[in-house]
Structure 1
């Protein structure tokens, strides 16, 4: 799907995702001990965790019931005053918040169409993150996937409002959108049966790193739901498991990169189907979902 209109704003990266849970301690223990996240700050009802130099990539908050993707934070290239004025002029309801996190004292909040979840737009994260080599910890939050009852509406919101670019579509129901060189930072599945988050994905450096992560999961009695395999769109090697609240978590590596938007194709890889590999609509078949082998039925339900 090409860009219909010049975007109002330009997101530069996905920054963080929120999880709600009735058991903060259990979730913090899982993300720190099993996935090796660093706990940066902790209060009675909220915990900030990171994988890199940003203050946080995951926020875990106390709530009566579990909910993943309770909000998503994106870093903007634009000045926040400009962003607020632009969104209001375009007819969006905007909330300017100064209490969301210690690392983001100024945030523009706008509701995502369809879901109504808050989208946080900020200019940078300050505060203490982490750096250096670690054998288990993911390199970063890679992307968040969710269901939507109106795919065209949501795709238009991300492309025309936030400046995402179209990377791929599977059939007419599964779209992949990028905001930088990574093949996708957000992907959405059309569904009238399901709602909420599909999965949250964290990046591994390479296959050796991913193997170490999976061995670490096994040592903590966490079993895979699906994978390893290789997706068609994005061509990432993937695995999926569940966190203690039942949220689907992907660990991945080798995601396609579009180094130059001017060239308009993804960096060549030996396993690509097309040369050059450009954004396209993929057939709905088993090889598209997993070119290596079996497909979980749940991945086809939408």
Structure 2
């Protein structure tokens, strides 16, 4: 476990086809708070409960998908140490200067074996959740939309799953919580990794193409809020992939849906707490349907194949 190194997922930068349509979706339907726009055209958001300036960023592009996924680390010394470990591992790194992203400090950027761009950073402006630190209320009554607690994790599809797993375990100290096997009973189809006490902070699925986004996930507080999210999505005629339902992997209650550009998102609640003395859970090929969708115990073909 790496609670004194990599703290948590910090931001996802996602490409959209129509910027203003996407801004409306993420503010009115998702209930995120816009926190700024930069000269390059990126729009920044946070959930109402998050304290840092932004956790989700969009930019207009000709294709949907994800530019990068960032993790916040403990401090500048940790950033330097982890960059050194990456280089020892044979991974080329690039430093992006402070201010290159709004209210974000210097970032270490690199490509992992599945083809995705990952970033590490130590500093992001804390703007708070508006409730303060002395005798705060528990929430604002005037929120919009789904109103998630935080941007929680991402699931990424790519070619060299084994290489990305080794990097996160050996360089950053992530722990394997769960895995799903292919038909040979040996090869990983999917791995779920954590740097905290969550069931996962990032996950990977083996795929024929590199650098694909399956989904970015946002946490809700209860199963009832997942049902409410489904109501809001239906009211707004949002394309729902599957759910509400429950995962066997991580035990989370979930609903998957698409933003206006076709990027898949998840809102979920629940999931177990992880501690480093726990044993990883393995799902065999014959039960992979129950691993993903525990109630009907079968896979949705779109869930397996549609990525951006």
TM-score range, shorter chain: 0.7 to 0.9
Whether the aligned pair in 2 keeps the contact of 1:235 and 1:254 (CA below 8 Å) is yes
Q: Distance in 2 between matches of 1:193 and 1:72?
A: 18
Q: Which residue of 1 is the match for residue 168 of structure 2? A: 158
Q: 2: distance between equivalents of 1:120 and 1:150?
A: 19
Q: Aligned pair in 2 of structure 1 residues 198, 32: CA closer, same or farther (>3 Å)?
A: same
Change (3 A) 1:195 1:104: closer
In structure 2, do the counterparts of structure 1 residues 150 and 92 end up closer, same or farther at CA, with 3 Å as the change threshold? closer
Could you list the per-position Cα deviations for residues 200-255 of structure 1 after superposition, in whole angstroms to 9, with x for gaps in the alignment? Answer: 11111111222222222222111421011111110111111110001111111112
Question: Could you tell me which residue of structure 2 aligns to residue 81 of structure 1?
Answer: 80
Mapped to 2, the partners of 1:71 and 1:54 lie a distance apart of: 18
TM-score (norm 1): 0.85
Asked if structure 2 preserves the Cα contact closer than 8 Å seen for 1:42 and 1:48, the reply is yes
Q: How many residues are matched?
A: 279
Q: Residue in 2 aligned with 1:67?
A: 64
1:281 maps to 2:282: yes
TM-score, with structure 2 as normaliser = 0.83
Q: Deviations 1:21-43 (Å, cap 9, x if unpaired)?
A: 23211111110010000000024
Report the counterpart of residue 153 of structure 2 in structure 1.
143
Give the Å deviation of 1:125: 2.0
Q: What is the CA–CA distance in structure 2 between the aligned matches of 1:50 and 1:76, rounded to whole Å?
A: 18
RMSD between aligned residues: 2.3
String of CA shifts for 1:78-127, please: whole Å, max 9, x gaps.
52233333433443222121143232221111222231x33110113214
Q: CA shift at 1:182, angstroms?
A: 0.7
The unaligned stretches of length 5 or more in structure 1 are 266-277
Partner of 2:184: none
SS in 2 for 1:18: strand
Match of 1:196 among 212, 218, 221: 212
Counterpart in the other structure of 2:101: 101
